[in-house]
Structure 1
Amino acid sequence: MISQWIDLTELGSNPWVLPIYTAINQAVGRGATTPLSSKNNALGLHLTTRLNILPRVLTRLSQGLRSIEAQAHQTFQNANRSAPNAPGVALTVSHDTKYLVIADVQSLLTELNTAHELIRKFALALHAHAGHPLAPNARILPSLPAAQRRPEDGVWLRKLDRDRNFVAHEGTLYLAIDISNPASWDFFLRKSNTRQFRRPADYCHLADLRIIVSGFDRWKARLQTHLVDLFNAL
């Protein structure tokens, strides 16, 4: 049993829920709705903690990737070049940094997936609180007009589900460097020892992670606006 403890300060927290809470409190003041339940307030705290974790993971991941890329550029020789029918000699980099990068990628996928689920659960609870309940699997946001759509809007969640499900239920990623464009190296994470990377399902490219993060951020911003408008209209 814990009888005494020390709480830690919470400063600079992610503000995503604050405009939503402001709109709810204003609606309460107008007599248009009731205060949120303790359960829904707790859900807001949980998702905020997840949103606080994400930028820290991204920062540490970026630092690790920059470190490995610098090491690779310093020691790369043509013998290290691999191709489908011509295996090369594996390049040595800091193992600690490499495994921290792998851990951070897998953590990023998990945190994004969980944050998406918590935010969606929060949004459904607020819809019900506002008197506009939705089915659990219902689309919360309307489709964007064609002129406002970006390529990531239609694919980020599918990519996230695919890669997060792999690390959660099927296997572990392993880091490699894509040198297909000699002028611009990039990273990818292998899902097996295959030497054929024709199918996106066989690997997770850093470009895919950028699409996932960008798509999640756009979806989150749109949903915040939607929830604020929902309570402003009461």
Structure 2
Amino acid sequence: MHISIRLNLLHWATIRLNGNLKALKSKASAAKLPQHVFSPGKPGVALPIDNELKYLAIADMHLFVTELDACIDHLKVFMHEVHAYVGKPIDDATRIAIINGWMQKRGIDPKWFGRLAHCRNFVAHKGALYLAFDITRPDWDLLLLKENVQIPTPTQCFRLSELVEIHKGFAACKQALQDHLVDLLA
């Protein structure tokens, strides 16, 4: 039950986050003036944005990483319980080896686990996020800054595109887990 609710929360948080980010990006794009663009050696001026959309986006990102992390924890327990139920209990090391095998077989970068943990720990324990857009590409990427900086380094921010990759890794592993448990119960 917990897993189903968390998966539904993730689904609806993603839909709401995408809608809020689309609206936020549209408003930022319409309001952006040359003085709002930060570049090396040329500091910009912060772009005033819609506070409601900003805080909804921050809350949705917090919900996303927190619920995704919690869902993974519940899926680990569920995997152990099903293995025990069929008389084939596993320990943590075996579970990790099984999951790593799925990821290797499917070409999934296993670093998404660590990136999720790092992002969740920052969001949950270290402070509020500053928002910025990377406008160097046609499809702007939202940056979640860890501190108030002009031009962030990769260690000073999370990119929305990274959260997308984390979600893809999770979705692939979730499908692999379903396949594994069906085979186990067959």
Same fold (TM over 0.5): yes
| Structure 2 residue 161 is matched with structure 1 residue 188 | no
Give the structure 2 partner of residue 20 of structure 1: none
Cα distance in structure 1, aligned partners of 2:90 and 2:54: 44
The answer on 1:121 being equivalent to 2:77 is yes
Give the conservation status (yes or no) of the 8 Å contact 1:141–1:226: no
- 2:161 is matched with which residue? 207
Counterparts of 2:127 and 2:162 in 1: how far apart (Å)?
18
Rounded Cα–Cα distance in structure 1 between residues aligned with 2:92 and 2:103: 24
What do residues 207-231 of structure 1 show as CA deviations (whole Å, max 9, x unaligned)?
1010011110000000010011011
Contact residue 57 and residue 107 of structure 1 kept, 8 A: yes
User: Which secondary structure state, in structure 2, belongs to the residue aligned with residue 63 of structure 1?
Assistant: helix
Report the AA paired with residue 230 of structure 1. Answer: L
Contact kept, 8 Å, 2:102 with 2:173, in 1: the verdict is no
Where in structure 2 are the equivalents of 1:39-188 lying within 5 Å? 45-138=1-94, 139=96, 140-141=98-99, 143-144=101-102, 148-150=106-108, 153-181=109-137, 183-188=138-143
Q: Which runs of 5+ in 1 are unaligned?
A: 1-44
Q: What secondary structure, in the 3-state scheme, does the structure 2 residue paired with 1:143 have?
A: helix
Aligned residues: 184
CA root-mean-square deviation = 1.7
SS of 2:163's partner is helix
- For 2:19 and 2:112, the matched residues in 1 are separated by 23
Q: Could you say which structure has the greater relative contact order, defined with CA pairs below 8 angstroms and 6 or more residues apart?
A: 1
Aligned to 1:220: 174
Q: Summarize deviations over 1:60-86 as a string: whole Å, max 9, x none.
A: 100110001111111111110012432
Aligned partners of 1:95, 1:141: CA distance in 2, in Å?
41
CA contact (8 A) 2:69 2:120 kept: yes
Structure with the larger helix share: 2
Structure 1 residue 142, shift from structure 2 partner: 5.4
Counterpart amino acid of residue 148 in structure 1:
R
For 1:190 and 1:145, the matched residues in 2 are separated by 29
Q: Which amino acid aligns with 1:54?
A: L
Structure 2 CA distance, aligned partners of 1:187 and 1:142? 30
Any conservation in 2 of the 1:177–1:186 contact (CA below 8 Å)?
A: yes
Code of the residue aligned with 2:67 in structure 1: it is E
Could you state the TM-score of these two structures normalised by the residue count of structure 2? 0.92
Larger Rg: 1
